[in-house]
Chains A and B, each alone.
Chain A
Amino acid sequence: METAAEVVPPRTHYVNAKYGVKSWLLTTDHKRIALLYLASVTFFFFVGGFFAVLIRLELLTPQGDLVQAETYNRLFTMHGVVMIFFFLIPAIPAVLGNFLVPLMVGAKDLAFPRINLLSWYIYTLGATFTVIAILLGGVDTGWTFYTPYSSTYSNGNVILTGLGVFIVGFSSILTGLNFIVTIHTMRAPGLTWFRLPLFIWSHYATSLIMILGTPVIAVTILLLALERLAHIGIFDPALGGDPVLFQHLFWFYSHPAVYIMVLPAMGVISELVANMTRKNIFGYKFVAFASIAIAVFGFLVWGHHMFVSTQSVYAGMVFSILSYAVAIPSAVKVFNWTATLYKGSISYNTPMLYAFGFIGFFIIGGMTGLFLAALGVDIHVHDTYFVVAHFHYIMVGGTIMGYLGGLHYWWPKISGRMYPEGWARFAALVIFVGFNLTFFPQFLLGYMGMPRRYYAYPEEFQVLNVMSSAGASILGIGYLIPMIYLIWSMRYGPHASANPWGAFGLEWRTSSPPPTQNFEKTPVVTWEAYEFHPREEREALGVMDVLDRTLRPDLNVGDRG
């Protein structure tokens, strides 16, 4: 039963503005396109997860019993390709970013709505090629496509997969282009750069990497595919080519791509920490510029993937020092989030639980990144499970925690409904436990010398591998729970008010879900970012009961008994 205050009169918003398949597939509304992306990346998350399940099952025992080497090579390659190019890179920018960037800057849409739709179609086209490649038996080169194996010897569907990755890159470029132009030219009156939410700053930095880095991977994969096709080329050492050139070109994109994955998550965490502690973020400008610094430095560190690839030792030293330099802006962010908590009015609700998870995992993932950036240590742990654990702490522990935290936080805005808080907290806990159990043992395995990408291993590694596989099954259940209750809440969840969190930011100053044109009237911004004045603000927003709701999230669903 809903109380009178909760009854929302039927009104037109972006979801019910039009009906029919055509109104979705031909929409230029950034919010609908975000939902198209949401469906697509969720699908690929479970495809990638399926391969992960098979990998962990095989590694349950030291021998190869479920699959043999060749199949195993295909499994981890497809896991990497699908997860990185079709889930992690588009997840936050194309779903949350697409939905929120225009709302947060007070615009009616992104600058180029049709290009936005085009980017989804390009994504779908690239995805189709990759799915066909998977169905034809996949590819076995590892997601890095290293030459000359990929160009000459591999018998997998390298060209088809490469084509998929090549195409999907353009969707990423177009998204980045759209964000940059929107943030530059379409901010609401009064919304100066330093009044922007930090989510926007981090998406701006991400977009810079997208438009500068992605073309390089495109041309690299083009060269690789042509070389494989014509059996001639510049990466083939037999013809005087240099396979290390491929690694340079590949990592010139793929290292910054790590920041494409984690920077948007950092933007989400900044929003969560500020709004759930009801304080301005400590050192706003430092956090904002840290995003830009990470994007810039991120382009100068690719060589730390190649310490053992005949790169000159002097180049190695420079890349090592620059990699350490990236730790500075990253640490600035972590310290400032932590400092924001101090004397904050912290709500321990689901989004904040994910934010805490992110901060912890990011510290572990980031610190182990420094181990790998050290020339000497890297030679010991290069290509071991230590590397696998490190980047999963950043990508799964960082990006996916940020993505899920953001999805919960903005779910009332996206769907107009509240998710069940109790289940959500339970799922967050399951994910936290499952994640640590999966990936922490891998640090130990790697340090003891277990190489990555092997389907069999010596028996002394079995205990830790069983722990990891057990953790993975817990993690998998943890990911299924939100999937189920979020879909459930779209129909049965209690209606959300315009601003259920009492949060700051323009996206909360329009109804949930927003109308197609986002705002009834273009907002005029006269306040600073996260300018919390508890009492006055609540009065101004007319949400006097908000603080109680935030402190007692169970009240949000309490009306339903």
Chain B
Amino acid sequence: MATHAGLAHHFDDIEQQREAGTLGMWAFLVTEVMFFGGLFLAYILYRSKYPTEFAVASNSLNVTMGFINTLVLICSSLTMALAVYFSQIGNRRLITVFLLLTMVLGTTFLVVKGFEYHEKYVEHHVPVRFPTYEFKWEPHGSDHAGAHEASSLAVDTGRVEMFFWLYFAMTGVHALHMIIGLGILTTLVIMTRRGRFTPEYHSPVELSGLYWHFVDIVWIFLFPLLYLIGAHLHR
């Protein structure tokens, strides 16, 4: 068997190395599922315990921005899948193009998320207590349809705050994964430029693709959980 430049010293052949890498990434994703699982458990528990507050707080999120971000991420999954495809057939130029496109979309997501966080900051919906900044909850004005009914419900501010706490914890950890993903993609672009990938050896692209899709899927769960469930109640 011809030895390959990408083959590490302790593997017998490139096939064994690919298998090890793939299994390793899947096992890592399992740990990620368990990691996010703790947050989802907390969310589900309190969502069922305090449905009113969670629905009201959820309605104050910017669904449009969340929806745009969902589209952006789905598109980025497509471009990532295409990058993997072109790494399999060994088209270096198109690998680079699609990796860069994925990075652009990932950055777009983070920028939109940044605007959303800023909006929450301005509205005093960031659940922290500093001398200069405090969480405040006031029912929305007339710009939100149905705000009147929402405000007429007895709402416990502490529980609303808990929703925002979970919102920032979950989307924050997700955004951190996006940032790590962008770092990985940057490395991949450099490696591609140096001609490290061939049809026989492209598992870094493939495995990073798995990671990227996983981060997307987490958002696919976060979006309805945080933004959509209960939206019909007060609209």
Contact = CB atoms under 8 A, between A and B. Distances in A.
Interface stretch (A239-247, A361-369, A441-449): A239-247
Given A226-B169, A239-B162, A180 B27 contact: yes
B128 A111 contact: no
A233 B10 contact: no
Interface stretch (A52-60, A117-125, A206-214, A490-498): A206-214
A211 B162 contact: no
Interface stretch (B29-37, B82-90, B98-106, B114-122): B29-37
Given A215-B38, A239-B158, A230 B128 contact: yes
Given A111-B24, A233-B162, A234-B165, A223 B38 contact: yes
Classify chain A: how many residues form its interface, as a range.
35 or more
Interface stretch (A128-136, A181-189, A548-556): A181-189
Contacts of B36: 219
B127 A245 contact: no
A271 interface: no
A527 B151 CA distance: 75
B28 A232 contact: no
Given A108-B10, A232-B127, A241 B16 contact: no
A170 to B, nearest CB: 9
B100 to A, nearest CB: 27
Interface in B137-160: 156, 158-159
Contacts of B1: none
A147 B149 CA distance: 36
Contact of B46 (A112, A211, A212, A234): A234
Contact of B35 (A109, A112, A219): A219
Contacts of B39: 219, 223
A111 B169 contact: no
A213 B34 contact: yes
Contacts of B74: none
Contacts of A108: 9-10
Most buried by A among B9, B39, B50, B165: B165
Nearest to A248: B41
Nearest to B46: A234
A113 B10 CA distance: 9
A185 B39 CA distance: 33
Given A186-B20, A240-B156, A216 B27 contact: no
Most buried by B among A173, A181, A220: A181
B127 A181 contact: no
Contacts of A184: 19-20, 23
Given A109-B10, A234-B165, A239-B162, A215 B20 contact: no
Given A212-B30, A234-B46, A249-B41, 14 more contacts: A111-B24, A184-B20, A212-B34, A215-B38, A216-B37, A216-B38, A218-B35, A223-B39, A223-B169, A232-B161, A233-B162, A242-B45, A245-B42, A245-B45
5 contacts: A113-B8, A212-B34, A231-B129, A232-B129, A232-B165
Q: What 5 A-B pairs have minimum CB-CB distances, sorted nearest first?
A: A219-B38, A215-B35, A109-B10, A108-B10, A239-B158
